[in-house]
Structure 1
């Protein structure tokens, strides 16, 4: 007896199918996490705490940019106390496991999207299935662009602000590795997911939940939301918030164009029906 068509599968069959997609996704995350754990020392030294090095590429870029316009900048003589503290007996081991899982999730993101596509693809017609393949590539591209943006722009700004900010010299910061990694992972994941905005708008438009007119009408409201979001994921200074807000607003405008195209295609289908 042949394999059941997705449309003919019962609810329990769908759950069983979903279970195997989830198992494979978690397996890939786990394998990557194990590899990350093995090379944890090198990853921490060369990737995760490099923002505490005054010679990090972003700080050098800002230094050179300010020098070009003849403005003195702290970025040219930036120093950090790069010794992070651990206050818990099991702290470093727990942090190593947690970091491995987070990086496993990040690096497995394209495969997770592939499993998601495999789950929904059988329910699509051949034409829709062919067009939907771009989803994996585009979603992965947006995710990793957001990842690079947060790693090379947002995280250095956050480190610069929070590590150099002081109310008074009488207060000494004792920064733990847990708080630093939490800041890093929240920034990386938060910004990377925000960069998926055009795809979110695309699917909401396909479902008829939003329209280009709706997006244009509430553009000012979206600007306020974007500024609030930028304030949440960046240091509380205007420059950092503007740097984050600009690409999000660009993505929002791209989303309007996408929504307009989706609406045009839907009207064309209804006309030809």
Structure 2
């Protein structure tokens, strides 16, 4: 997997001065466009589109300082339809406009070229299973929240605290399918998975029963799910589990992510500082 990702990175470098289709990058990486975006953002720490943009502006900056071509020529080469659009993007990355940078020889920002390599860190074996599950329905309460990669998600915490205990009891009694009990479901995530992009959050259960008044439903089609377990402090253990799945498990196993909701079931300690977590991610076999 890492070898194919590096081929995609080489393709990006060869085509920075022309249009780059993510569909073509996925073909080079021998995976789906959806999985390529997911795995890239997890490994690189930034969305794929952001990396391409920053690499283009890094090369453009070198040409601006060299002073051999007009700013408009450089702008067009790197995909900007006007000098004004190029100047805005240039300033957003480098903190200075291209004309001023050329006149003053200012120090500019550089996005280094990336390459993915396997690092052996001696972590414990990851516990997982793959489950084929028929279509099912999530019943619960829904809100729209920002994506937070590290630390508590205040929007989710505030939403859950506002749910009446009797509502949670009613929902839990409806749970009749795995994963059992109250679950957290994240759906409609941006494929870029950038910090603070919004997603749909459901707090509810999986059930075949009718939805009670005041709740909402999410219908999930049949498919395969990779189920991972972890224990530790909240929320670090859960966030590290998600990170390890995408940076270690996917590159080492013949599966790729597919579109669908992510499901998390947690069991908190009496002090609510530790948790046993079970993470369900939609997957499909990686085509060879």
Please state which band the TM-score falls in when normalised by the shorter chain. Answer: under 0.3
Of Structure 1 and Structure 2, the greater strand share is in 2
When normalised by structure 2's length, the TM-score is 0.23
When normalised by structure 1's length, the TM-score is 0.24
